[in-house]
Amino acid sequence: MGNEVENHEEHRAEGVGQHGRSGSEPGNVTTRIRARYGDAAVRGGNAVGCESVIAERDTHLPFMTFLKDDPELSFDYLVDVTAVDRLQLDEEIRFAVVYQLYSYKHNRRFSVSVPVPEADPWIGSVVSVWPGANWLEREVYDMYGIVFEGHPDLRRILMPDDFGSHPLRKDYPLHGKGERDNFVF
Amino acid sequence: MGLEDQLQENVMTTKVDAMVGWARKNSLWPMPFGTACCAIELMATLASRFDLARFGAEAIRFSPRQSDLLVVSGRVSIKMMPVLKKIYDQMPEPKWVISMGACASSGGVFNTYTLVQGVDQYIPVDVYIPGCPPRPENVIQALIKIQEKVAQAKAN
Ligand code: SF4
């Protein structure tokens, strides 16, 4: 099933005359990562037909830089940064920050997930790698309370500055904690 | 008396309140506070098919200082409410407010942490329009209701 999807994408890449045939070989990104970091670095595998890995928080900054700068990968476009609160799932570590990447050169997508524990929710900022991460990380900070170390301007982006909570956390009530009824202005 | 005979039909006698009210109600200058989908329907009301110009209210002002009818059309979040309040305060008296649609009037389906559950908690509303979104006919009817209210207002 997974192969079918990949073959189809390969076919499509051919059809539109994309350069870099080698870039659309299935499994190529993880092969490349394995060559550089060893087998232990490649955890996760495919998620909904898209290649992905689970990275470690302590080493994720050099890893992301590698994904961008390596000529065989060159993920030059950070599509999105978001997070998952796995409070009700059977996961040891509560949060995961998820990066969606795209390579214009190879017409290829990749996704990186980094677990972040609740007790000390921080992760290194990738603004130095992709400047476009600036507002995306601010949103994740605003919604989940995950602190991005090294971010140049980590303020809330959607909620008012004095909003006390992080509303996309699963233990935050849908109707809020009374903010909508007693806010000051 | 003799005066009316002399002037015949060239002059009409009335009260100042009635005259000013008549002038105001036929030249409302709306300030659109469009924050969501309802604003699209408000634009449709203004455009040629429904043509709010027939009621003298086509001169949309994007400056609150030049308008006398605030149309709140859309959701208002707790971050946006101070802006709305400031715009309302900046409008010169006399002024009227239409709360257009379920969201502005009650929060609508967005019973969530960040949405003001009805703008009338913070600014006075003269006419509410139900609907999600209200059709242009509803908006026109609300305008007519506002006109009735304007006509009855005191001139000073
Ligand atoms: S009432 Fe309906 S149409 Fe109007 S702003 Fe709310 S959701 Fe949109």
Structural domains of chain B, ranges and CATH numbers in brackets = 29-152 (3.40.50.12280)
Strand-strand pairing, A108-116 and A50-54? parallel
Which residue range forms the structural domain that includes residue A72?
A: 18-126
B78/A174 touch (CB, cutoff 8 Å), yes or no? no
Atom of ligand 1 minimally distant from the CA of B132: 2
Determine which residue's CA is closest to atom 2 belonging to ligand 1: B132
**Sheet hosting strand B30-34, strand order edge to edge:** B30-34, B69-73, B96-100, B127-129
- Confidence at residue A181, expressed as pLDDT on a 0 to 100 scale: 83
Cβ-defined contact of B111 to A176 (cutoff 8 Å):
no
* Residue A76 belongs to some domain of the structure: yes
Q: What is the mean pLDDT of chain A?
A: 83
The per-residue pLDDT of chain B, averaged, comes to 91
Using 50, 70 and 90 to split pLDDT, how confident is the model at A185? confident
pLDDT value of position A7: 45
Inter-residue contact A155 to B91 (CB < 8 Å) = no
For ligand 1, mutation pick of B37, B98, B115, B129 (most atoms within 8 Å of CB): B37
Instruction: Give domain status of residue A45, yes or no.
Output: yes
Instruction: Tell if the CB–CB gap between A176 and B81 is shorter than 8 Å.
Output: no
Between the CA of B50 and the centroid of ligand 1 the distance, in Å, is 20
For residue A124, give every residue at least 6 positions away whose Cβ sits within 8 Å of its Cβ, in sequence order, or none: A57, A60, A61, A148, A149, A150
Quote the pLDDT of residue A119.
93
Task: Tell me B77's DSSP state.
Answer: B
- Domain membership of residue A112 (yes or no) is yes
pLDDT band at A23 (very low <50, low <70, confident <90, very high): very low
- H or E, element range at A147: strand A147-149
CB A94, CB A117: distance < 8 Å: yes
In terms of Cα–Cα distance, which of B135, B142, B122 is closest to B57?
B142
Global pTM value: 0.81
Distances (CA, A) of B78 to A35, A170, B55, B105, B107: 51, 21, 33, 14, 11
| Mean of pLDDT values over A147-152 | 94
* ipTM exceeding cut-off 0.85 for this assembly: no
Give the pLDDT band of residue A27 (cuts 50, 70, 90).
Answer: low
Output the domain CATH number for residue A86: 3.30.460.80
- The pLDDT confidence band at residue A49, using thresholds 50, 70 and 90, is confident
Count structural domains, chain A: 1
pLDDT for B35 equals 93
Say how many C-beta atoms besides its own lie within 10 A of residue A117's C-beta: 12
Class of residue B97 by CB neighbours under 10 A (exposed 0-12, middle 13-18, buried 19+): buried
Distances (CA, A) of B10 to B1, B2, B13: 15, 14, 10
